[in-house]
Amino acid sequence: MEGLADQIDAAADAICSAARGLAAKVGVILGSGLGALADRIDDATAIPYADLPHFPRSTAAGHAGKLIVGTLRDTGRQVVALQGRFHLYEGWTAQQAAFPVWVLKRLGIETLVVSNAAGGLNPSYEVGDVMLIDDHINFMFKNPLTGVNDDRLGPRFPDMSAPYDRALIELAESVARRAGFFCPRGVYVGMLGPTYETRAEYRMARRLGGDAAGMSTVPEVIAAQHCGVRVLGLSTITNACSPDQLSETSHEEVVTAAASAGKKLRAIVEAVVLLK
């Protein structure tokens, strides 16, 4: 982590220069197929990642690769949204994948909503459901905190007993009850990718307690816990991963299915933003 603090400061300074008057307390990471929420950010300043020092480049399909600052419609509150993220399967390190989270903290963010597209391991889940991440399993076997720790950013050994904020989970559950949609709690299994899992891997993940599997989010959440940012994790179920009835999965189908949950995600995100 040597030199990381200076890189974070440089990126945060560039964002503050481009988006003057930034005072957001909530950040949102928009995953595969979920970038449309950015269309509901008014008076927006959009900054390509390519214009930000030390930011990686988003290469995954469905990820626009922009940081957006503006007011989330119907809330009157400012947010910072990352329209696209960085995956280890793209060749980035876990620290590079988590880098934007430390930058958001430097900008004053106190709460982070992370969204992703995930395969449903739990047989009760259907395509289009939104799962509230209650915990995760790191099958990426990579950690963004590896190396010499910078105590200015966070502790050497962060506690991970509850990385997903329970009060925010309960808030999301209340939103789902009022709106009348299924929104269970579950365990997210972070896989390295870029291949989708084999039938045997799906069976293993399910037997170990996994409810949904994806290729992101875990490094970001570790970094958020490290620097003291509250996290709400949302997984859109984009395909059913029943190992005995497994069909081929394409990224295009995943993006389309993720977009179908947009209204549910929007309702939850708006409720979180209105807390501030």
Domain that holds residue 171: 4-273
> Which residue blocks in the chain are alpha helix, DSSP H?
4-18, 94-106, 166-179, 199-207, 218-227, 251-259, 262-273
* From 191, 215, 258, 259, the catalytic residue: 215
Clarify whether 226 is annotated catalytic: no
pLDDT averaged over every residue in the chain: 91
Cα dihedral 233→234→237→238 (10° resolution): -100
Tens of pLDDT, residues 42-55? 999 999 999 999 99
* From 90, 125, 202, 258, the catalytic residue: 90
Q: Which amino acid is at 231?
A: V
Clarify whether 63 is annotated catalytic: yes
Q: Note the pLDDT of residue 119.
A: 92
Q: Note the pLDDT of residue 32.
A: 65
* From 115, 116, 216, 235, the catalytic residue: 216
Q: Can you say how many angstroms the Cα of residue 258 is from the centroid of all Cα atoms in its chain?
A: 13
Count of the separate structural domains present in the chain: 1
Tens of pLDDT, residues 216-273? 999 999 999 999 999 999 999 988 766 566 555 556 666 666 667 788 999 999 999 9
CATH number for the domain that contains residue 57: 3.40.50.1580
d(CA 222, CA 160): 8
Q: Note the pLDDT of residue 57.
A: 80
Q: Which residues are annotated as a binding site?
A: 32, 63, 85-87, 117, 197, 216, 239
d(CA 274, CA 272): 5
Over its C-alpha atoms, the chain yields an Rg (Å, rounded) of 17
Q: Note the pLDDT of residue 206.
A: 95
pTM of the model: 0.93
Q: Would the CA dihedral through 129, 135, 137, 141 be positive or negative?
A: positive
Residues 6+ apart with CB under 8 A from 167: none
Clarify whether 235 is annotated catalytic: no
The two structure tokens encoding residue 8: 């974070």
d(CA 169, CA 236): 15
Clarify whether 259 is annotated catalytic: no
Clarify whether 90 is annotated catalytic: yes
Q: Note the pLDDT of residue 248.
A: 59
* From 11, 97, 98, 117, the catalytic residue: 117
Q: Note the pLDDT of residue 261.
A: 79
Clarify whether 87 is annotated catalytic: yes
Clarify whether 216 is annotated catalytic: yes
Tens of pLDDT, residues 84-104? 899 999 999 999 999 999 999
Whether the predicted pLDDT of 26 surpasses 60: yes
Q: What is the mean pLDDT of residues 200-207?
A: 94
